[in-house]
Amino acid sequence: MNNTWKTLSAVNVNNDKERKGRFDYLSWADAWKHVQQNTESATYELHDDVVYPDNSREVRCSVKIDGVTHMMWLAVMDNNNRAIKNPDARAINDARMRCLVKAIAMHGLGLYIYAGEDLPDAPEKKPVPKKEAPRKNPDISVHPLPEIQTFELCSRDGQVRDTFNDENHYTSAYLELLSKAQKAGTAAELIDQFKEANKKTIDKLGSNNQTKILDKTKWARTQASVGK
């Protein structure tokens, strides 16, 4: 572990991060402030954009801190993280500054904010209306439809990220987020917060999925503690 990573990954940026829609982000001004306060030297370079056949655009930026360089890329997107076709100058400029923050995150600053950010957006699910039971006649026995059980996947701050009607789909999504957080070097206490936010939902799982998800949670916590 290099000294730059050790220093910047230890900086708590929770007081500076902001929220837009469903996503947390760190402004470029706050990110650059922390870099200047905690490192000896830092420069960045914007590279040529990549334009795709559908006229969507990808920006690229590299950041060099104390002799170490990381480059990142980012599509020009709207507030729902969907690529914009024929983006205007304002959208391109915003994407470049976000890409700068993302490249800084590769050096360790606020990297945990990006854990799980590249998961595909799940289609919006409309609530299933409850069917009214037909009126009873004296000679007809009517049995009400079983209530559909739902499983809410929450982020570590308790906000609902997605809702599933199938426990296996919920389990897969939970473990995928958990794995991404561990690979990103997320602190053990943040993984604990994520687990705690999903405790009620985990308690609703069937015995097989509950055992599987709890075993994986224990593994991720152990890995995070060892890597800290």
Residue 142, domain member (yes or no): no
Q: Do 10 and 102 have their domain in common?
A: yes
Final residue before a domain boundary, out of 56, 91, 114: 114
Shared-domain flag, residues 107 and 172: no
CA 163/CA 165 separation, integer angstroms? 7
Q: Is residue 124 part of a domain?
A: no
- Domain assignment present for residue 190? The answer is yes
DSSP state for residue 84 in the 8-state scheme: P
In a domain, 126, yes or no: no
8 A C-beta contact, residue 91 and residue 84? yes
> 188 is written with which tokens?
């053990």
pLDDT for 137: 54
Using alpha carbons only, how large is the chain's radius of gyration in Å?
22
Q: Do 170 and 109 fall into the same domain?
A: no
| Residue 51 pLDDT class (50, 70, 90 cuts) | very high
Query: What pLDDT does 132 receive?
Result: 67
Q: Does 110 share its domain with 155?
A: no
Taking the model in full, what pTM does it have? 0.49
Q: By C-alpha distance, which of 86, 93, 43, 87 is closest to 64? A: 43
pLDDT at 44: 94
How much is the average pLDDT of 113-120? 52
Same domain, 101 and 7: yes
How does residue 37 score in pLDDT terms, banded at 50, 70 and 90? Answer: very high
Identify the burial level of 58 via C-beta atoms within 10 angstroms of its C-beta, where 0-12 means exposed, 13-18 middle and 19 or more buried: middle
Work out the number of other CB atoms within 10 angstroms of the CB of residue 192.
Answer: 15
Return the DSSP state at 23.
E
Measured from the Cβ of residue 16, the count of other Cβ atoms closer than 10 Å reads: 15
Which residue segment(s) compose the domain that 72 sits in? Answer: 3-114
* Alpha helix (H) residue ranges in 55-120: 89-105
Collapse the DSSP code of 82 into the 3-class scheme (helix H, G, I; strand E, B; otherwise coil) and give the result. Answer: coil
Q: What average pLDDT does this structure show over 175-198? A: 84
Out of 69, 87, 114, a domain closes at 114
Give the model's pLDDT for residue 79: 80
Residue type, 32: W
Given 90, 114, 138, the domain boundary residue is: 114
β-pair type (23-25, 18-20):
antiparallel
Is residue 123, in this structure, part of any structural domain at all?
no
Considering the domain architecture, whether residues 106 and 156 belong to the same structural domain is answered as: no
State the pLDDT confidence band at 225, using cuts at 50, 70 and 90: low
> What pLDDT sits at residue 119?
36
Same domain for 65 and 11, yes or no, is yes
Inside any domain, residue 170: yes
Number of helical H runs and strand E runs in the chain: 7, 7
Do the Cβ atoms of 35 and 42 come closer than 8 Å?
Answer: yes
Average pLDDT over residues 39-55: 93
Using CA atoms of 35, 69, 191, 197 in order, give the dihedral in degrees to the nearest 10: 70
**Percentage of the residues of the chain whose pLDDT score is greater than 90:** 28
Question: Residue length, the chain?
Answer: 228
Looking at the fold, whether 94 and 169 belong to one and the same domain comes out as no
Whether residue 56 is contained in a domain is answered as yes
What are 121-143's pLDDT values in tens digits?
444 555 667 666 666 554 444 54
Instruction: With respect to residue 127, please indicate whether it lies within any of the assigned structural domains.
Output: no
**Tens of pLDDT, residues 57-104:** 999 999 999 999 999 999 999 887 889 999 999 999 999 998 999 999
* Distances, alpha carbon 7 to alpha carbons 12, 16, 17, 66, 108, in Å: 11, 17, 18, 12, 8
- What is the domain count for the chain? 2
For residue 123, what pLDDT is reported? 46
**In a shared domain, residues 90 and 164:** no
